[in-house]
Chains A and B, each alone.
Chain A
């Protein structure tokens, strides 16, 4: 039904 995106797909590693 729905998928949960991972938070680290939005923010870059520093």
Chain B
């Protein structure tokens, strides 16, 4: 028996918004310690890694490890039926071919149940090595989304350049060029407004606008985003999911431009 109950059901709705444009389907690996999801987008350019720890759930039970292959378009349709303040429970029998979503209104007066068919997915699991990154940049997630959106008007790629002074985002195309520099912030009233650069070596890498913009669909999950970069390795874009876990997007840098 698998059962995971989340009083803050809106988090699960936001997680779905953060992955559904990138992935058509994905396997949810449910184990004693929590739920993991790892999947590449259709073009195999980026990788999504989602981690939801059992401690973050209000109730979590997983007697045996189960892998639930889900069509994310279908799951997204179902989660759209949950209100933002609903309590969401996911449950499945050990060898079931369906998963059930239960939505309870806060006052328990409305309870909705949706059963969804599971899929057998044959997806490659990739081992992501522990990496020491040369540059780790923390910035407000809304600011990062705004920068990606603004720069995508100029070209298909964004150059991210990190030095000890701060971080620079640039794009160039037919209409001209754009450069946005963010300096490290001094003292800020709210921690989430800070721009923090932890740099060992300066790094400049070029990434696809299209994918960065898809990652920013996770913005509602967290006020801050963390970018980790090293030369010639994938960028990591990480959003914390409340106290429950995180979503990380890995994106291969562009080469040869």
Contact = CB atoms under 8 A, between A and B. Distances in A.
Interface of A: 1-14
B127 A7 contact: no
Question: Which of under 10, 10 to 19, 20 to 34, or 35 or more describes the interface residues of B?
Answer: 20 to 34
Interface in B103-139: 124-129
Given A7-B46, A11-B47, A12-B127, A2 B257 contact: yes
B254 A2 contact: yes
A11 B127 contact: yes
The list of the 4 closest CB pairs from A to B, nearest first, reads: A2-B257, A11-B126, A14-B127, A5-B252
Nearest to B125: A14
B252 A4 contact: yes
Interface of B: 40, 43-47, 124-129, 157, 206, 208, 233-234, 250-257
A6 B127 contact: no
Contacts of B44: 6-8
Contacts of A3: 254-256
A13 B124 contact: yes
B127 to A, nearest CB: 4
30 contacts: A1-B256, A2-B157, A2-B206, A2-B255, A2-B257, A3-B254, A3-B255, A3-B256, A4-B252, A4-B254, A4-B255, A5-B45, A6-B45, A7-B46, A7-B234, A7-B250, A7-B252, A8-B44, A8-B124, A8-B126, A9-B252, A10-B252, A11-B126, A11-B127, A13-B124, A13-B125, A13-B127, A14-B125, A14-B126, A14-B127
